[in-house]
Amino acid sequence: MKLSVTRDNLHAGLGAVSATIPTKTTLPVLSNILLRAEDGRLTLSGTDLDISVSVTIEADVSEPGSVTVPARKFAEIVRELAAAPVHVIVDGVEIRIESGKSRFKLFGLAPDEFPSAPEIDFDDSWKMEAGLVQELITRTSFAVSTEESRPILNGVLWQLRPDSAAMVATNGHRLAKMTIELKGDGAPPEADLIVPPKALQQVQRLFDKEGEIELAHSRNHLVFRSATRLVYTRLIEGPYPNYQQVIPTDNDRIATANRDALAAAIRRMAVVASDQTHRVRMSFTNDKLSFKVQTPDLGEAEEEMAVDYKGDALEIGFNANYLLEVLKYMPDDDVILQFKAPERAATFLPASGAPDYLCLVMPLRLLD
């Protein structure tokens, strides 16, 4: 294999793929990146067996071929090179890297040792606007669980229907759901897929918001594809909890507040909140929201702000961190907060009603 490529293109390609390389592995080839050169293109691939990423860059290929190269050392070498063409010459598993007056030699592994990509039939693939996929991921994946006790909640539920796509994530204490309408040709097959958030992070990193992403899935895998990017991920298996059961439909105490002002007040209260519960007490009355925090052996804090509130007076407690996350991803300047009772789940929606977005936060029990 013999090729030439610009240093910047190679550096960018390695940066895109390196995030999937495991830091520790008992399988040596997983510490390597697969290089495959053909037809004026160089494809770089990395995998941790759960997620696989491939990136294609332009290259002047004089001899096609493939090899696996130690990922970390190859990336460090390319990062330190000057902005000059990089020549890569491969003889067996010996890889020579030349640029300007710099010369390096690395020893890789045979390409047939590299895990093959899962087989997925693209005959039933569909396309979505990349910007919409990015929006779904951004607005929901923050709510996913990081605890290992309920592995099914470690993934994002992607509900695909012929005319819509919805993503849902929850850790049992907070929930985020966003739905978008699908228009045009190539409707997705109806399916409920549970996608690891790490794979969705790779999609956010690798795909531009412009253009389209082609998708296809098998029973165990999902793939995102564009002309120069490819992300395979293993799906999380098992039934996702019936989240619809916990979304209240009868919350009749309603407040409308400015998102940024509300978040700023909560951040101030969180300074003296308990490190264990992060509890903030919120009291709603006519057009006023009062905050209060009392933490033994630390101190107290109080604040008031104006809100548009309709309903009986309400006193309720929340984990300040959960509230701040919800407000961070709320797409409108104003947010609607809906309550029923101090022990019932509260919902948060954009005041404009668009997009179709909802967050839910479970309250904390208040201590007198």
**Domain 126-243 superfamily per CATH:** DNA Polymerase III, subunit A, domain 2 (3.10.150.10)
Same fold, 2-113 and 126-243: yes
Mean pLDDT for the chain overall: 95
* pLDDT interval class at 118 (50, 70, 90): confident
Residues 231-278 have pLDDT tens digits of: 999 999 999 999 999 999 999 999 999 999 999 999 999 999 999 999
Residues 321-333 have pLDDT tens digits of: 999 999 999 999 9
* pLDDT interval class at 55 (50, 70, 90): very high
Residue 186 confidence (pLDDT) above 80: no
Residues 194-231 have pLDDT tens digits of: 999 999 999 999 999 999 999 999 999 999 999 999 99
Residues 20-45 have pLDDT tens digits of: 999 888 899 999 999 999 999 999 99
Q: Selecting from 3.40.50.11600, 3.10.150.10, 3.30.465.10, 3.40.50.150, what CATH number does the domain 2-113 have?
A: 3.10.150.10
* pLDDT interval class at 123 (50, 70, 90): confident
128, 182 contact by CB (below 8 A) = yes
**Domain 247-361 superfamily per CATH:** DNA Polymerase III, subunit A, domain 2 (3.10.150.10)
Q: What pTM was estimated for this model as a whole?
A: 0.92
pLDDT confidence of residue 74: 98
* pLDDT interval class at 185 (50, 70, 90): low
Residue 367 confidence (pLDDT) above 80: no
Domain ranges of the chain: 2-113, 126-243, 247-361
pLDDT confidence of residue 111: 97
